Chain A
Amino acid sequence: MSGRALPLLFLNLGGEMLYILDQRLRAQSIPGEKARKVMNDIITTMFNKKFMEELFKPQELYSKKALRTVYDRLAHASIMRLNQASMDKLYDLMTMAFKYQVLLCPRPKDILLVTFNHLDAIKDFIRDSPGILNQVDETFRQLIEVYGGLSAGEFQLIRQTLLLFFQDMHIRVSIFLKDKVQNSNGRFVLPISGPVPWGTEVPGLIRMYNRNGDEVKRTEFTTDGNYITPQREGSFDLYGDRVLKLGTNMYSVSRQVETHMSGSSKNLASHAKENVAPNPLAKEELNFLARLLGGLDIKKPGGSETGFRLNLFTTDEEEEQAALTRPEELSYKVVNIEATQDPGLRAELARIAGELEVAEPSPASSGKGEDLLALMDGL
């Protein structure tokens, strides 16, 4: 519905992706140099000027399938590889985290503060690289320019558009379950206590006025809710205390990132309908992908760089098991470009995809011929 939801969706999901990748890179003890290169490469690609231009154009949100394809390319913008199962898990975690943040935002406008929290953290990841820092600041300024003047009603429309995108997603995330912010049925806990949103009064007071506007009666009512007045409003400037904690990094090296695939439950029924759709994406979605992917300036890794594989699971066996047991209705079915009907568009997408292909380190080649897994074991 809202044509301005996409940049917020993309940047926040991207931010969550970086949090998770950062945690996994450290948990798997990938050497600092390599880890930093991966983070820098992905962030550089994300904040590419041409890409951002396409993103900020007013447009509808596209399907999860289309968006997933963009993140697939983004995650492979560097020397790191991810298997399908790990990529699926990464996307699950990203989407459930942002769904939680959108749902719990006190005011619709606070989605902007959540976005700023993600960007503040991204700037910290690349604090030693002034070139990329500039790009991120540019995007920051663009966000302030585009969203700074929107009304509460327009923000609520953006929020409703995002909630539509996340509707019926109930994947259980271990870290959420442990922190008791998600129930075992996959639904998020909505607290009925704490500070009310900035601009809202604590519920309870009723005031009645006569025809002349004089207050003539005042009564109070009580409920189970336990609300308090908020201390201060978060900052919407380039720098400042955001106050809101939603959108800050909840992962650390010691906290594992697991998901539980929901078993057969009727809640999945409506989710299943979307993925079982026979056709690949509609023409508009393919056009969108062509534009966005065309803007992703992905560099091929240099000859001396050794690629590696990142695993979102604790062991390779777990990753294999996850791939085998992922419920059909939750598979993302990444875009099959070959299946595009329009030959011109198919050629164009194939060309772009070809340009974006990260060279697969071939096991037979010398020098880097060692088994990648052995390489990682030795780290």
Chain B
Amino acid sequence: MYRRDRSVQLGGSSSALYNNLSVLRLPQRQLACFCAVHGPAVNVLSAANDGLAGSQRQLRAPPAAPAAAAAAVTQAAWCVLPARVLLVLTSQKGVQMYESDGSVMVYWHALDITEQPPAQAVFARGIAAAGERFICVGTSSGMVLVFDIPHKGTNVTVSEVLEEHHHAITDIAAELGQAPEGAGDLVTADDAGALCIWSSGEEFTLLNKIPALGCTCSSVKLWNGVVAAGYGNGQIRLYEAATGVLRAEVNAHARWIYALDLAPLTGKLLSGAEDSFVHVWKLSRNPDTDDVEIEHCHAECVTDTQICGARFCDPEGCSFAVTGYDLSEIFRYSQV
């Protein structure tokens, strides 16, 4: 169903971090931009449809002192808002926002280190654009920072801090399709496996909380009111966002899931895990029973690789890209 295309070469290998690949499509320019985290740096590059890499750039987290050890970056992702696209980096130090090509830093938010007890790791992680003008970023303490993004310029402000989680945030996702009534438009996930469903706005409202089941939720997606969550025990679970009810359970992977992605025009779901497998699934709603259905479409084994990032490269899910720990290339696949 999918065949391997030419790989895109990265400036450095990818680190073992959740959701370690972000893709930005520039269809009018026949280009796709990719970014992946490599230790203290982020490799940002553009590639044409045939995989030939164009420009490359490396971004870093700011160190506190010039001679201090470089801070580790935890995630890098593009946030697409109606007015602008920003490239957001989260690290042990805080949150950086760049123009989409990584050329100029627009905003820097330092995490308040003194608040944390020293034994706990401090970092930001989990990035999503929400509600047409916000960017939400999670932290290791469980807080979610909501940034209000101006149409242009650098006047970003912290609009709100959401405090519902008690464990480090792992991932945040905004509604990719059409949310049914009461289903909210944002989901946040944490290290313990708890999920919170929110309605974004001037003030964010908590609509639902799905309690932790003792297993980390490392990646989460929201589509047409269905939450797709990937867990450390290799399971994918689908929940109804409006009610929090479990609608499907998939024994998907033999190891920790590191990445999920969803193609909004078709409902295709992509999952990548430490077990070397990438799976493509299809989500749908039975119009009569209103049941949520999920079927397996395709399995791809990336030999001897622990997957750390997986993204569809187009909104139909006709092609996808994958990164792996210690791998200096991005594997690409497209539908035959």
A residues near B, CB below 8 A?
A: 1-4, 58, 60, 62-63, 103, 106, 108, 151-154, 156-157, 159-160, 163-164, 167-168, 170, 183, 187-190, 192, 196-197, 199-211, 213, 216-217, 219, 221, 223-225, 227, 266-267, 270, 279, 282-285
**Pair A208/B299 contact, Cβ less than 8 Å:** no
A335 nearest CB across to chain B (Å): 15
Q: How far is the CA of A192 from the CA of B305 in the complex (A)?
A: 11
Q: Which of B248, B306, B326 has the most CB of A within 10 A?
A: B326
**Pair B216/A153 contact, Cβ less than 8 Å:** yes
A227 nearest CB across to chain B (Å): 5
**Pair B123/A151 contact, Cβ less than 8 Å:** no
A14 nearest CB across to chain B (Å): 23
**Pair B275/A225 contact, Cβ less than 8 Å:** yes
Residues on A with C-beta less than 8 A from B207 are none
**Pair B254/A58 contact, Cβ less than 8 Å:** no
Q: How far is the CA of A326 from the CA of B253 in the complex (A)?
A: 41
**Pair A282/B67 contact, Cβ less than 8 Å:** yes
**Pair A208/B291 contact, Cβ less than 8 Å:** yes
Q: How far is the CA of A227 from the CA of B72 in the complex (A)?
A: 35
Residues on B with C-beta less than 8 A from A168 are 12-13, 326
Residues on A with C-beta less than 8 A from B234 are 196, 200-201, 203
* Given A203-B234, A211-B290, A190 contacting B251 (CB threshold 8 A): no
* Known pairs A200-B234, A200-B255, A208-B294 / 6 extra A-B pairs, C-beta < 8 Å: A192-B276, A206-B250, A210-B289, A216-B289, A223-B301, A270-B38
**CB within 8 Å of A: which of B277-336?**
277, 279, 289-296, 299, 301, 303-306, 325-326, 328
Residues on A with C-beta less than 8 A from B121 are 1-3, 157
Q: How far is the CA of A103 from the CA of B255 in the complex (A)?
A: 12
**Pair B69/A3 contact, Cβ less than 8 Å:** no
Residues on B with C-beta less than 8 A from A224 are 299, 301
Interface size counted on chain B using CB atoms at 8 A: 66
Select one of B12, B118, B279 contacting A3, CB under 8 A.
B118
B160 nearest CB across to chain A (Å): 25
Residues on A with C-beta less than 8 A from B246 are 209, 213
Q: How far is the CA of A170 from the CA of B304 in the complex (A)?
A: 13
Q: How far is the CA of A46 from the CA of B38 in the complex (A)?
A: 32
Residues on B with C-beta less than 8 A from A267 are 13, 328
Select one of B13, B255, B275 contacting A167, CB under 8 A.
B13
Q: How far is the CA of A60 from the CA of B167 in the complex (A)?
A: 20
Closest 3 A-B residue pairs measured CB to CB? A153-B191, A221-B296, A153-B216
* Given A58-B119, A206-B294, A183 contacting B69 (CB threshold 8 A): no
Select one of B292, B304, B326 contacting A208, CB under 8 A.
B292
**Pair B215/A152 contact, Cβ less than 8 Å:** yes
**Pair A163/B16 contact, Cβ less than 8 Å:** yes
B101 interface residue (CB < 8 Å to A)? no
**Pair A216/B92 contact, Cβ less than 8 Å:** no
Select one of B68, B233, B292 contacting A199, CB under 8 A.
B233
Residues on B with C-beta less than 8 A from A209 are 245-249
A186 nearest CB across to chain B (Å): 10
B17 interface residue (CB < 8 Å to A)? yes
B232 interface residue (CB < 8 Å to A)? yes
Residues on B with C-beta less than 8 A from A279 are 67
Residues on B with C-beta less than 8 A from A164 are 15-16, 39, 72
Q: How far is the CA of A207 from the CA of B292 in the complex (A)?
A: 11
Residues on A with C-beta less than 8 A from B251 are 201-206
**Pair A159/B16 contact, Cβ less than 8 Å:** yes
* Given A197-B255, A203-B253, A266 contacting B328 (CB threshold 8 A): yes
Select one of A1, A153, A196 contacting B167, CB under 8 A.
A153
Q: How far is the CA of A62 from the CA of B69 in the complex (A)?
A: 8
B255 nearest CB across to chain A (Å): 7
- Residue on A nearest B232 in the bound complex, by CB: A152
Residues on A with C-beta less than 8 A from B275 are 190, 192, 203, 225
